């Protein structure tokens, strides 16, 4: 006896066919139940890729008039790249080929602007000296351990901020053998393998700050390649408050004073080491960054040490080139130390 399979009901067959069409057609040539294809779905999502690409390029048009939003954006500018994976995941969820392709635009823009910072540039390049910069933290629970870690780096110049009277002898003892020359002004200090002369304070106080606030230092370093001016600076901190926004006014004032001091410097070669409480993209540091060549290779986020999100500690030079820079392991501070190899110009 032969048995014939009974045909499925017309309604069920149509439903199954519709499901198959929707399941495969979302990414292929078929459309969904509303006739939309992968190339017609997600147009609004695709449009969001344009501001995601434009914001890191045209960040300077974001005004500082309200809460210093421009400087706030520029402080975390590399993190705008997070828009790329977010938009791509949304494109996958939406099953939109148009949105997925559009994500390429902000991805390329981010790679052009910030991708080079992730490359280990200059590791094999010739250099003349190594400089190290560290905000050691005035509440550092282990200044002795911090001092020993920094001394072992072999840097020719070591600049420190947030020095306290109690910790100063600890750093002095740790650096004495390899860095017998030092200059300390207020809470900033410089230790050098080479002789230091003409050391003194640099007034970078914002308006309304008393004379006891001393965070700027300038010294002439008698290096084998010739004299050079070395500045150590610790600019005022910034605050983010719901009412006031990004409070960078005192920092910006101090940056203007530091930039003026560097502009007036008579020695051609200048090295700046410091906690500037701002990133290279922040327009508030333009009075300084416009006059110096910063060390930019590597992501180099230095703060906070537990989960660094921004590089606010810097090594910059004039009439010299920082060929590479890197962060060192965490110490007892809330900042990471940073170091740079610097190529000096020949005579």
According to the model, what pLDDT value does residue 242 have? 77
| Segment 198-245, tens digit of pLDDT | 999 999 999 989 889 999 999 999 999 999 999 999 999 998 877 778
Low-confidence ranges of the chain (pLDDT < 50): 1-4, 6, 21-26
H helix or E strand, kind and range, residue 14:
helix 10-25
Any residues with CB less than 8 A from the CB of 302 and at least 6 apart, and which? 308, 310, 311, 312, 313, 327, 335, 336, 337, 338
Alpha carbon distances (Å) from 144 to 131, 152, 335: 20, 12, 16
Which pLDDT value is given to residue 231?
Answer: 98
pLDDT at 259: 98
Which residues, in sequence order, are bridge partners of residue 222?
227
Q: What is the pLDDT of residue 67?
A: 85
Taking the C-alpha atoms of residue 151 and residue 65, their distance in angstroms, rounded to an integer, is 44
| Contact present, 132 and 189 (Cβ < 8 Å) | no
pLDDT at 24: 46
Q: What pLDDT sits at residue 292?
A: 97
Query: Are 140 and 112 a contacting pair, CB within 8 Å?
Result: no
> Per-residue DSSP letters for 317-340?
EESEEEEEEEEPPP-SSSS--EEE
In the chain, % of residues over pLDDT 90: 75
Instruction: Look up residue 329 and give its two tokens.
Output: 């392991």
**Beta strand 157-161 with 129-135: parallel, antiparallel or unpaired?**
parallel
Two structure tokens written together for 83: 């828009």
Structural domains for the chain:
38-117 (no CATH), 124-344 (3.60.10.10)
Query: What is the longest distance spanned by two Cα atoms in the chain?
Result: 113
Q: What is the pLDDT of residue 43?
A: 92
Question: How far apart are alpha carbons 199 and 305 in whole angstroms?
Answer: 31
Q: How far apart are the first and last CA of the chain?
A: 106
Q: Is the peptide bond before 304 cis (omega within 30 degrees of 0)?
A: yes
Find where tokens 């910063």 sit.
294
pLDDT at position 88: 96
Which sign, positive or negative, has the C-alpha torsion 173, 176, 178, 181? positive
Q: How many residues does the chain have?
A: 347
Specify the pLDDT at position 21.
47
Please report the pLDDT score of residue 2 as a whole number.
45
List pLDDT tens digits, range 6-41.
Answer: 455 555 555 555 555 444 444 555 566 566 788 888
Q: Going by C-beta distance under 8 Å and a sequence separation of 6 or more, which residues neighbour residue 278?
A: 71, 75, 235, 238, 248, 251, 255, 284, 285, 312
b/e string for 173-194 if b means 16 or more Cβ within 10 A?
A: ebbeebbebbbbbebbbbbbbb
d(CA 107, CA 52): 9
């Amino acid at each position: 006896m032969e048995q014939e399979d009974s045909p499925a009901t017309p309604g069920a067959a149509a439903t199954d066919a519709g499901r198959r069409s929707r399941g495969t057609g979302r990414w292929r040539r078929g459309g969904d139940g509303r006739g939309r294809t992968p190339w017609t779905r997600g147009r609004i999502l695709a449009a969001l890729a344009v501001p995601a690409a434009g914001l890191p390029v045209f960040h300077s048009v974001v005004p500082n008039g309200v809460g210093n939003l421009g400087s706030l954006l520029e402080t975390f500018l590399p993190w705008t790249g997070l828009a790329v994976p977010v938009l791509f995941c949304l494109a996958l969820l939406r099953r939109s080929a148009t949105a997925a392709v559009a994500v390429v635009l902000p991805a390329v823009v981010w790679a052009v602007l910030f991708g080079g910072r992730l490359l280990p540039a200059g590791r094999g390049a010739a250099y003349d000296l190594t400089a190290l910069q560290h905000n050691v933290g005035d509440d550092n629970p282990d200044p002795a351990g911090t001092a020993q870690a920094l001394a072992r780096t072999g840097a020719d110049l070591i600049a420190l901020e947030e020095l306290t009277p109690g910790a100063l002898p600890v750093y002095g003892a740790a650096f004495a053998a390899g860095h017998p020359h030092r200059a300390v002004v207020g809470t900033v200090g410089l230790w050098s393998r080479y002789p230091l002369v003409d050391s003194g304070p640099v007034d970078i106080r914002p308006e309304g700050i008393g004379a006891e606030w001393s965070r700027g230092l300038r010294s002439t370093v008698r290096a084998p390649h010739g004299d050079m001016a070395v500045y150590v600076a610790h600019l005022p901190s910034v605050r983010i408050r719901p009412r006031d926004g990004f409070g960078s006014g005192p920092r910006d004032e101090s940056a203007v004073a530091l930039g003026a001091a560097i502009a007036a410097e008579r020695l051609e070669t200048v090295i700046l080491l410091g906690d500037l409480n701002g990133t290279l993209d922040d327009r508030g540091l333009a009075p300084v960054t416009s006059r110096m060549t910063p060390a930019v290779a590597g992501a180099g986020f230095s703060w906070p040490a537990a989960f660094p999100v921004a590089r606010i500690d810097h090594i910059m030079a004039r009439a010299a080139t920082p060929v590479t820079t890197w962060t060192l392991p965490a110490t007892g501070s809330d900042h990471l130390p940073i170091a740079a190899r610097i190529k000096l110009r020949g005579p």
